[in-house]
Structure 1
């Protein structure tokens, strides 16, 4: 991931609803979730508001959508999320992996995203 991509991803994640959507989609796994289910999980976010946020996340490359019959299914782009983490840790070790060991250890799925609050 290069700097412009990282900046776009960080900008997308800097908004509360979008951060919650990404956490929700990571938790949903590769199969993703229908847009309506995402809205319900976020406390009934309006369709237009949710569409705005999902589009923003798609443009940043953090989520993708696919059509399944009448539904649009959204899923996290794990490679982009991993790239973002990699961007943060890039060159931090400078040949000394023990420097990054605490950061890498902290990545052991400690996400505590609260997606049940009202969006």
Structure 2
């Protein structure tokens, strides 16, 4: 048998659920805490820990850059979570590309930030 609560009691109960509910967790693995970090502007960045990505055999330099950045982001996401994996937020970036007989390839390195 269902118990009917007066509207005001139901409203208070619903409000308490939102107040008491734990905050949504950021997408992090918790592994970032092993590295030394510092604030750089509005971001928190690894102090001296770089991550790397690469590509090879791409038809164009543009495609090779995109694949290398996705490689960097994918590994950072796997290791630390998507909060850290945005290449656009990374600091100390380096991106080097070259063309070989098999196509374009790039190598990227950067310090993750969130």
Give the structure with the higher percent strand. Answer: 2
Give the structure with the higher percent helix. Answer: 1
Higher relative contact order (CA 8 A, sep 6+): 1
TM-score of the two chains, using structure 2 as the length reference: 0.27
Considering only CA atoms, is the larger Rg found in Structure 1 or Structure 2?
2
